[in-house]
Amino acid sequence: MTFFSRTIPVFLAVLALAVTACGGAATAVPASTTAPLAAATLIPADSGKDSSMNIAVVFLDQPPDPLQAGWLALPTGLSETLFRLGTDFSPEPWLATGAQQVDEKTWEITIRPGVKFHNGAGMDAAAVKASLERAITQNKGMETLLDIASIEVMDPLKVRIVTNGASPVLPGLLTANKTAIVDAAAAQAMGDAFPIKPVLTGPYKVETFELDKEMVVTRHDQYWGSLPKLGRIKYLGLADANSRLLALQSGDVDIAVYLSPEGTSTVQNDPNLAVKSAAPNALTFMFVNHERGAMNDERVRQAVVLAVDRQALVGAITQGKGAEAIGPFPPGFLTCDQLRAHRFEPEKARALLSEAGYRDTDGDGIVEKDGQPLVLDLLTYRQRPELPLIAEAAQSMLKDIGIRAKVQLVEQPVPAANQGNWDLFTWYNGTTSTGDPFWALDRMYTTGGSGNRGHFSSSRVDDLAAQVGHAIDPAERERLACKATQAIIDEVAIVPILFPNFNYGVSNDVVGFDEPHPVPMYFIDSNVGKR
């Protein structure tokens, strides 16, 4: 029985793979934990001296310099930022110990004492200034995000940061993985060798890095926090979700990140393994192309959103490990009173289509207007394995209300989205970066926003987003962000689908990884160990 219960799901996954001929590459980054070590699993501080762990991650395709691949350096315990997002997505001090806003453009940040870089050099205010200056001079995105006018060292453990415009949420911005503090002097001295072996402050330091193959990290003995429980961690780059699963089952790795839905069931049924699920963080949704024919009509957009049974998708796609999305932000990110959301109401959707002039005149099940059937181009990509499944399910749901959706799989979503030959596009985006709603509102929903791929344009949302950007009082920011969220829902800027959990397969030997952090950037910390 055990044999079959373990074998059949994997076999079915293999067959499904064969039938769909999917490569299964995924764009996920490794994810997170900050969970304190449970009392029952406490291990002596020095027992991890020689202990090692193997972890299967999706990508090792960029060197772990925070400026190049902050998405790799942060979750693997190599780098740290001045502030980090807490489990409630609000920024909390990390390499900083506090921050005080002096005026609307000025912040004074106190630096944590006793922090050492991987080369043994001390991290002080001057090092923080040099690191942040390196980030903003070498990365245009960081320059724009932080908008820093000057950084001044006030004393060995305090810097004053002045921004060009009002910056009410600077600590949140300083959670961005590219702002991780590096030894800028070492970066200068090491030149091209630095990205492969960056000098950072995290609990682990790079021993070797081989592109697309493996990264070996060892304990940073002078780490400022609790002594890392492991002596050595080897990260293996396995892009294929089935490979990660089988490597976990065979005992070749202790943790496999980003399990597929089938893999999650397999791990759940294995007595030697466990699934650790991080609370939802990023949004799975469909972009709506507001510049294309029928989608210009708000009634058609409403019909589309009313036709999608999101609860069913949460059950079928994430097997219950996720949450239904009614708007852009995950549960717990904003506290909004009574958001009015679209629910699954196919009858109302049909009525809206009829009101918009779409009727099935030839009896083929597809509605027409002026003799033209309502056909939508629905694009999707497979780097997120659940997206093609969502596209197929949405196709079927739309057919029920008389809309024909033509699903097309694209290899590179960004260029395909830029071409604009689509009506709906399944997508996956983090919405909680910086811990403040303005980041997502400004990029995704304002006119001309850099991530507004459907060219949504609403003066109401633009106005509210601008107000959020300028508000200094946190409560006022939240109230305005809630109003903007309601406007986004009302005008169907996008079709929200679900917030999927981030699932890890973990060997029972792993300790200190009981409750993964909802933000996938905080995966490995000094508490993760092995029995």
- List residues near another protein by CB under 8 A: 3, 7, 10-11, 14, 17-18, 23, 25, 27, 29, 56, 61-63, 68-71, 139-141, 144-145, 177-178, 192, 195, 210-214, 236-240, 242-243, 246-247, 249-253, 282, 411-412, 414-416, 429-430, 433, 443, 450-451, 453
Rounded to whole angstroms, the maximal C-alpha distance in the chain is 78
Q: Indicate the residue among 396 and 412 with the shorter CB distance to another protein.
A: 412
428 three-class SS: strand
CB 283 within 8 A of CB 330: yes
Which three-class secondary structure state does DSSP give residue 344? coil
C-alpha distance from residue 481 to each of 104, 333, 339, 449, 488 (Å): 20, 11, 12, 16, 10
Q: How far is the CB of 411 from another protein (least distance, A)?
A: 7
Residue 79 CB, shortest distance to another protein, in Å, is 14
The residues near 412 (Cβ < 8 Å, ≥ 6 apart) are 381
Residue 424, both tokens: 């709906």
| Cα 364 from chain centroid (whole Å) | 41
Which run of H or E residues covers position 163? strand 158-163
| Residue 418: CB minimum distance to another protein, A | 8
Min dist. Cβ of residue 66 to another protein (A): 10
Nearer to another protein among residue 27 and residue 319 (C-beta): 27
The SS3 of residue 471 is: coil
DSSP state, 219? E
Nearer to another protein by Cβ, of 21 and 40: the residue is 21
Q: How far is the CB of 6 from another protein (least distance, A)?
A: 8
* 24 vs 93 by CB, closer to another protein: 24
The CB-of-142 to another protein minimum distance in angstroms stands at 9
> Which lies closer to another protein via its Cβ, residue 61 or residue 362?
61
The residue (of 225 and 237) whose beta carbon lies closer to another protein is 237
Nearer to another protein, 63 or 172 (CB): 63
Contact 311, 344 (CB under 8 A): yes
Of 74 and 378, nearer to another protein (C-beta) is 74
What the block records as the tokens of 14 is: 């293999």
Q: How far is CA 146 from CA 137, 290, 445, 497, 508, in A?
A: 11, 31, 20, 31, 42
Structure letter (DSSP) for residue 122 = B
Q: CB of 302: closest distance to another protein in angstroms?
A: 26
Rounded to a whole number of angstroms, the minimum distance from the CB of residue 439 to another protein is: 8
Strand partners, 57: 237
Q: Are 244 and 257 in contact (CB under 8 A)?
A: yes
